[in-house]
A = this chain, B = another copy of it.
Amino acid sequence: MPTANRIVTAALALFYRNGFHASGVDLLSAEAGVTKRTLYKYFPSKDDLIESALLLRHEQFIGRVKQHVLAVEAEARPLAYLDFIGDWVAETEFCGCAFINAAAEFAAREQVPHRLADQHKEEIKALLLGLCSAAGAREPAPVADALFLLGEGLIVTSQVQGCSEALVSNAKQAGRLLWDAAL
């Protein structure tokens, strides 16, 4: 694995687990198994590393969710999105959504991490809208938004309180009810 990728991968993991401000460059380089000097050869500042880590996360995440929803027939894809979120929040390494965390730590909308979070969520919403439309919703936008919001709620609640099977199940049930009403 090329050095730059090793660095950004390790950085993403540490940022995700530890937070952005709380992860110092010394720790980042140690975690990547490289010298601070090497890290700065590839990423001219910590801000650049944060940006690269979030871009990597975006690609990874979008890939995972697409792979999951495209594995089922078109009519089931909107609800498969909630299934995906439900599986994700149950993972032991789950630490919330990296982009929500970024928006929380970089509160100003103009800050790069916050803007990346905005774009990431926009892409997820667009994907979900397409799925709802293709699955035959009469009005795709309202149900796509509703499913998205249930997913976001599941993400942050699992982050704050830990994953609860009952909550995941209730979220899916609500999603099913909303989806059936949207056909």
Contacts and interface: CB of A to CB of B under 8 A. Distances in A.
Contacts of A81: none
Most buried by B among A121, A142, A156, A159: A156
Interface residues of A, number: 49
A124 to B, nearest CB: 10
Interface stretch (A1-9, A50-58, A69-77, A169-177): A169-177
Contacts of A177: 177-178, 181
Contacts of A156: 100, 103, 152-153, 155-156
A101 B152 CA distance: 14
Contact of A21 (B19, B101, B145, B146): B19
A96 B104 contact: yes
Interface stretch (A27-35, A38-46, A59-67, A160-168): A160-168
Contact of A101 (B104, B117, B151, B178): B104
| Chain multiplicity (copies) | 2
Contact of A105 (B19, B109, B118): B19
B104 A105 contact: yes
B18 A118 contact: no
A122 interface: yes
Given A99-B160, A141-B166, 7 more contacts: A96-B104, A118-B162, A141-B170, A152-B157, A153-B156, A177-B177, A178-B178
